[in-house]
């Protein structure tokens, strides 16, 4: 790079290599090309790597210098902060350096592998304990010097240290007080990776682009990018690490926001979508026939959707609302607008039960119109399918409802204008794209009854416009949720019997269909038999589960909706979409085995009528996370609060949708811990002109290069 006069000029002018816009675009283009060329250098050609090491490093996701710089430590050893063994206190986190005097490998009474090493230094002696790491036997040996970090535990009048991190000190290592601990793979050790990273910092860090000017960094309290990389790998102290982490988290989240906005702008400017103009009377006719008034939140969402549908660009909107908030009727009115403008609409749901539920709801909404509605699923007969296919091709079918069968090759629309996808996180990116490809840039509305925390929505769904229905229909009473221990479960069934005598209906949900030898769970089949024969023989009880044929499930659900069945025993096939207003009791067996989002969805099956409804959680929580879920369910009915709690308990990496958007590529940012940084990055991305980003493409493509691969799978 030093051989390019353009690079030298740019470097001096900007006090560091940064992306340049405006009048300096030509020079900036040369700079960007050379900068990314240096950072994209194949890891194989770095000093000390070669083909064999390169193959090992690629298993860690390190294929280039860029990847190596972003391979941030998972933890650190502070070698300047050693603890005196003789002064250790119970429950403190300690760093100890010493010599191994002896080792022992055995199994606990519960079958857990235990490895112990007796460690001695000039301050005393202590037993170090590793859990479930039998491979250490033979790796850690007598006479070795080790550095360990862990939590001190009182044990029979003495102390042990439960090791969380360790390193065998052999050979020369870097002379740094704080040493990084990196994610490793077989064949790569810490010493090798530290030296490789240090070499990359010395040789290539000056090439790394600084995308934020001094004023912006000062505004948001951020250090320069080069200082951030140095301190994330080899921090001098706590404050330098925290400053580095903040800057790199901001870098990731800001770039992700920019990439989403670029995608969104491209869709808006290069895509000519369907224009839904000329309202007709169908939409108002459907609304006037509704037996209820729309809430203000529903009207606001509809206004936003209609504005998008009337625009020349394709709509790409997420409609988010809690269970029972009335998203389906909003979708029905949006489809009425599309049909009234001469187009067809497709409504895709993840399960046959949910698709059938939507079909019945739409038929009620359109009962006084001439709209032709058809359904397509795995249960559709060949003769029915042929008729539906013909109706789609000649325009005889206005609305098609179904499961993923809608994306089949044989499904052809005459003029598809609107695509609605319910519970959209259950479909992959490719599945959603295939349905949209059935028309010429149709409007797309995706819906979710799983509320998303604002920070996750800003980050993962920045390319979607967002509408939120945050009101429930008037007259709904909050569902009362109660936790019962397993030995109290008969209270739940006595309560069902009492309420059934007053005309109410109930659900009982189990995690499994059949008894499992490996898991002590109450299976739906055996519970059904127990309830019918022993506990509530006087009640009409039905059973439904995922292994039934569609016709069987439809028949049972029909009986339950009509009131012939008073108690429905089910697996989680009734998690979403089932709407029986007379059902007022939900009993969930082994509730500790369900996630918080799933518990909330199940609870949403009741509370749809005017009577008081109840959710009874039969559970024996054995972990703090399980207790947290149960307590959260008892505390609130607000799906948005529960979504925030769910992300706190499970972590954002496991929260739905994350893996579909490349967010697993975030190396530093944490979607839960970094909510303030997310807001800052979102604000900056939205306050800048798109012209400021013309130099970002190569950088963004490198940072999130695997996102496209994920989306195409």
Question: What is the per-residue pLDDT for 693?
Answer: 56
Q: Is the model's pLDDT at 7 over the cut of 90? A: no
3-state secondary structure of 348: strand
DSSP states of 187-226 as a string?
T--HHHHHHHHHHHHHHHGGGS---S-HHHHHHHT---HH
Residue 390: closest CA among 378, 376, 404: 376
| HSE toward the beta carbon, residue 194, CA cutoff 13 A | 18
Tokens 């939140």 found at: 297
Torsion from C-alpha of 511, 514, 520, 522, nearest 10 degrees: 60
Tens digit of pLDDT for each residue in 149-160? 999 998 887 899
What's 464's DSSP letter? S
d(CA 447, CA 142): 61
| For residues 11-32, average pLDDT | 39
Residue 208: closest CA among 192, 239, 230: 230
Q: Is the model's pLDDT at 242 over the cut of 90? A: yes
**665 with 703: CB under 8 angstroms?**
yes
Tens digit of pLDDT for each residue in 552-594? 888 888 899 899 999 999 887 665 456 788 999 999 999 998 8
Q: Which residue has the higher pLDDT, 538 or 552?
A: 538
| For residues 640-663, average pLDDT | 60
Tokens of 341: 């403008």
- Calculate what percentage of the chain has a pLDDT beyond 70: 82
For residue 188, the tally of other CB atoms under 10 A from its CB is 18
Q: How confident is the model at residue 220 (pLDDT cuts 50, 70, 90)?
A: very high
| For residues 628-640, average pLDDT | 89
The sign of the torsion formed by the CA atoms of 520, 522, 525, 529 equals positive
Tens digit of pLDDT for each residue in 372-428? 999 987 778 889 999 999 999 999 999 999 888 888 888 899 999 999 988 755 555
What radius of gyration, in Å, describes the C-alpha atoms of the chain? Answer: 30
Question: What is the per-residue pLDDT for 35?
Answer: 60
Question: What is the per-residue pLDDT for 704?
Answer: 72
Tokens 């080790």 found at: 146
Question: What is the per-residue pLDDT for 284?
Answer: 92
The sign of the torsion formed by the CA atoms of 517, 518, 520, 525 equals negative
Tens digit of pLDDT for each residue in 296-332? 999 999 999 999 999 888 888 888 887 778 899 999 9
What average pLDDT is seen over the chain?
A: 82
Question: What is the per-residue pLDDT for 644?
Answer: 76
Tens digit of pLDDT for each residue in 269-299? 555 678 888 767 899 999 999 988 999 999 9
CA 621 to chain centre: 24
What's 230's DSSP letter? H
Question: What is the per-residue pLDDT for 660?
Answer: 42
d(CA 607, CA 570): 18
Beta strand extents in 315-430 (DSSP E only): 316-321, 344-348, 373-376, 399-402, 416-421
Q: Which residues are 671's β-sheet partners?
A: none
With 0-12 / 13-18 / 19 or more C-beta atoms within 10 angstroms meaning exposed / middle / buried, residue 156 is exposed
Beta strand extents in 496-654 (DSSP E only): 505-509, 541-544, 567-570, 583-589, 614-618
Beta strand extents in 640-712 (DSSP E only): none
User: In which region does residue 423 sit, left (phi positive, over 0), alpha (psi from -120 to 50) or beta (all else)?
Assistant: left
- Calculate what percentage of the chain has a pLDDT beyond 90: 43
């Amino acid at each position: 790079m030093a051989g390019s006069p353009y690079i030298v000029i740019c470097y001096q002018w900007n006090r560091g290599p940064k992306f340049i816009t405006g009048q300096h675009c030509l020079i900036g283009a040369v700079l960007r090309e050379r900068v990314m060329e240096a950072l994209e250098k194949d890891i194989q050609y770095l000093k000390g790597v070669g083909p064999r090491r390169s193959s090992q490093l690629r298993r860690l996701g390190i294929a280039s210098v860029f990847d190596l710089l972003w391979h941030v430590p998972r933890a650190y050893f502070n070698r300047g902060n050693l603890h005196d063994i003789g002064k250790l206190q119970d429950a403190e986190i300690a760093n100890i350096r010493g010599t191994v005097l002896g080792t022992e490998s055995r199994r606990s009474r519960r079958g857990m592998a235990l490895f112990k090493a007796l460690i001695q230094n000039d301050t005393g002696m202590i037993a170090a304990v590793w859990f479930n790491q039998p491979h250490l036997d033979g790796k850690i040996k007598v006479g070795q010097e080790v550095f360990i970090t862990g939590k001190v535990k009182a044990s029979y009048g003495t102390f042990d240290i439960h090791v969380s991190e360790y390193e065998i000190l052999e050979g020369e290592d870097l002379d740094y007080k704080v040493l990084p601990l990196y994610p490793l793979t077989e064949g790569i050790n810490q010493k090798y990776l530290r030296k490789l990273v240090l070499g990359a910092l010395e040789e290539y860090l000056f090439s790394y682009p600084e995308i934020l000017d001094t004023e912006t960094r000062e505004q948001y309290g951020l250090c320069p990018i080069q200082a951030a990389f140095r301190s994330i790998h080899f921090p001098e102290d706590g404050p330098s690490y925290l400053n580095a982490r903040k800057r790199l988290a901001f870098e990731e989240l800001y770039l992700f926001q920019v990439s989403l906005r670029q995608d969104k702008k491209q869709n808006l400017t290069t895509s000519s979508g369907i224009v839904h103009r000329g309202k007709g009377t169908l939409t108002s006719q459907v609304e006037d026939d509704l037996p209820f008034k729309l809430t203000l939140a529903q009207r606001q969402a509809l206004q936003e959707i209609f504005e998008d549908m009337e625009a020349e660009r394709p709509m790409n909107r997420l409609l988010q609302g809690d269970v029972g908030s009335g998203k389906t009727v909003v979708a029905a009115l949006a489809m009425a607008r599309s049909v009234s403008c001469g187009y067809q609409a497709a409504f895709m749901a993840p399960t046959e039960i949910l698709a059938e539920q939507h079909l019945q709801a739409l038929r009620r909404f359109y009962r006084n119109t001439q709209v032709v509605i058809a359904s397509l699923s795995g249960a559709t007969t060949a003769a029915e399918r042929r008729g539906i296919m013909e109706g789609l091709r000649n325009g005889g079918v206005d609305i098609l409802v179904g499961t993923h069968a809608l994306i089949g090759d044989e499904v052809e629309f005459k003029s598809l204008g609107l695509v609605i996808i319910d519970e959209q996180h259950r479909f992959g990116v490719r599945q959603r794209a295939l349905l949209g490809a059935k028309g010429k840039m149709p409007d797309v509305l995706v819906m979710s009854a799983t509320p998303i925390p604002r920070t996750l929505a800003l980050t993962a769904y920045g390319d979607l416009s967002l509408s939120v229905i945050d009101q429930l229909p008037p007259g709904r009473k909050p569902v009362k949720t109660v936790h019962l221990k397993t030995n109290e479960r008969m209270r739940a069934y006595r309560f069902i019997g009492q309420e059934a005598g007053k005309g109410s209906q109930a659900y009982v949900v189990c995690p499994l269909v059949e008894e499992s030898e490996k898991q002590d769970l109450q299976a739906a089949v055996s519970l059904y038999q127990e309830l019918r024969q022993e506990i509530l023989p006087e009640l009409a009880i039905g059973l439904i589960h995922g292994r039934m044929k569609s016709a069987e499930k439809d028949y049972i659900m029909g009986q339950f909706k009509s009131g012939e069945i008073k108690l429905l025993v089910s697996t989680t096939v009734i998690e979403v979409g089932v709407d029986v207003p007379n059902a007022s009791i939900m009993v969930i067996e082994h509730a500790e085995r369900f996630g918080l989002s799933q518990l909330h969805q199940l609870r949403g099956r009741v509370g749809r009528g005017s009577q008081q409804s109840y959710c009874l959680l039969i559970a024996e929580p054995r972990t703090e996370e399980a207790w947290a879920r149960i307590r959260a369910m008892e505390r609130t009915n607000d799906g948005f609060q529960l979504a925030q709690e769910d992300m706190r308990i499970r972590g954002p990496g496991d929260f739905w949708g994350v893996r579909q958007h490349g967010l697993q590529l975030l190396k530093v940012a944490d979607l839960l811990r970094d909510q303030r940084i997310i807001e800052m990055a979102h604000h900056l991305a939205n306050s800048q002109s798109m012209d400021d980003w013309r130099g970002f493409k190569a950088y963004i493509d490198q940072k999130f290069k695997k996102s496209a691969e994920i989306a195409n799978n």
